[in-house]
């Protein structure tokens, strides 16, 4: 079955739901900075450091790029490879940026309330639970029925993206979340991210080597930039396998060098503390003699 696609590829389509989400996020950030911070932020420093602000701006910009026109429309109607780029942004790039934008005091305030939200977030953010949920959502989001139906239903499309984004936020919590107690040790983080890079290679490899249309929603005559169906599928698979994998391996490399550098510094400090000089220790046993009457009398007496 071939789906129909609008031949006016570059027509502008407003997405009010995207702007509602973005404005809601900005409003919450403003409320946290203006209302909550003066009452709950620790005294002695700014409640939001410069890197918090830069991370928040970066997250909002990339979330807007991935969710609004033209990327959303191209990925939904014309090129599945662009759809894959959209998924990588909302699962691998935006979540760690958004987590980096949350200061520790604000995260503790949100997770330590007397309600059940904080308890469930801490439970679901554990590595095993978060990893299973994230990879489950990645697998489900590539089922042909889900992809084809979400193209025809904007509500389902955004719901799938919401679940992907939420599971990705939980997946990144043990790696770079704002609460240190929820972090794994550096070697565990590296193994964890390696496992996160393995499962997506299955649908990525299937797309790369599949013959014929995997998703009928993209099997139409309107081809953007002259990219054929087979080439589009292969590009989507390679983006998922190589770009997503290289991104996660970059994280692994950074974590490894930081961990190795810390281990080297700790070992150097340990050697400085525990090293004992070899050979006898010379001690100055000379007693200074003060000039005075007692000294003179003793000298005269000796004579």
Q: How far apart are CA 159 and CA 154, in angstroms?
A: 9
- Mean residue pLDDT of the chain comes to 86
Choose the most confident range, by mean pLDDT, from 12-21, 28-37, 200-209, 212-221: 28-37
- Token pair of 297, please? 């009398």
Q: Is 249 a residue whose pLDDT tops 50?
A: yes
Of 59-68, 181-190, 214-223, the poorest mean pLDDT is in 214-223
Question: What are the DSSP calls for 80-102, one per residue?
Answer: HHHHHHHHHIIIIIHHHHHHHTS
Query: Is the distance from CB of 148 to CB of 2 less than 8 angstroms?
Result: no
Of 44-58, 105-119, 211-225, the poorest mean pLDDT is in 105-119
Q: How far apart are CA 249 and CA 251, in angstroms?
A: 5
Q: Is 299 a residue whose pLDDT tops 50?
A: no
Q: Is 291 a residue whose pLDDT tops 50?
A: no
Q: Is 278 a residue whose pLDDT tops 70?
A: no
Q: Is 275 a residue whose pLDDT tops 90?
A: no
The reported pTM is: 0.84
Q: Is 124 a residue whose pLDDT tops 70?
A: yes
**Model confidence over 148-170: pLDDT tens digits?**
998 888 888 889 999 999 999 99
Q: Is 140 a residue whose pLDDT tops 80?
A: yes
| Inter-helix orientation angle 50-67/80-88, to 10° | 160
Q: Is 287 a residue whose pLDDT tops 80?
A: no
**Model confidence over 73-117: pLDDT tens digits?**
999 889 999 999 999 999 999 999 999 999 999 999 988 766 677
pLDDT of residue 114: 62
């Amino acid at each position: 079955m071939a789906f129909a696609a609008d031949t006016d590829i570059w027509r502008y389509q407003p997405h009010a739901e995207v702007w509602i989400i973005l404005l809601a996020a900005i409003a919450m950030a403003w409320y946290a900075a203006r209302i909550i911070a003066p009452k709950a932020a620790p005294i002695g420093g700014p409640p939001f450091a410069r890197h918090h602000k830069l991370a928040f701006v970066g997250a909002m910009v990339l979330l807007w790029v991935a969710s609004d026109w033209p990327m959303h429309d191209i990925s939904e109607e014309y090129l599945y490879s662009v759809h894959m780029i959209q998924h990588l942004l909302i699962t691998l790039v935006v979540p760690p940026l958004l987590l980096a934008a949350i200061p520790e005091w604000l995260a503790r305030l949100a997770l330590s309330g007397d309600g059940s939200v904080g308890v469930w977030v801490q439970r679901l953010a554990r590595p095993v639970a978060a990893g299973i949920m994230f990879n489950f959502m990645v697998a489900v989001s590539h089922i042909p029925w889900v992809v084809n139906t979400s193209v025809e239903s904007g509500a389902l499309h955004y719901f799938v993206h919401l679940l992907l984004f939420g599971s990705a936020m939980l997946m990144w919590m043990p790696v770079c979340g704002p609460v240190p107690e929820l972090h794994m040790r550096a070697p565990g983080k590296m193994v964890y991210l390696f496992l996160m890079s393995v499962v997506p290679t299955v649908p990525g490899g299937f797309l790369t080597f599949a013959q014929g249309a995997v998703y009928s929603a993209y099997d139409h005559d309107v081809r953007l930039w002259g990219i054929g169906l087979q080439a589009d599928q292969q590009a989507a698979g390679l983006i998922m396998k190589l770009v997503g994998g290289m991104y996660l391996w970059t994280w692994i490399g950074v974590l490894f060098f930081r961990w190795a550098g810390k281990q080297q510094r700790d070992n150097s400090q340990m050697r400085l503390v525990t090293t004992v000089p070899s050979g006898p220790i010379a001690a100055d046993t000379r007693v200074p003699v003060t000039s005075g009457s007692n000294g003179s009398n003793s000298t005269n007496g000796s004579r």
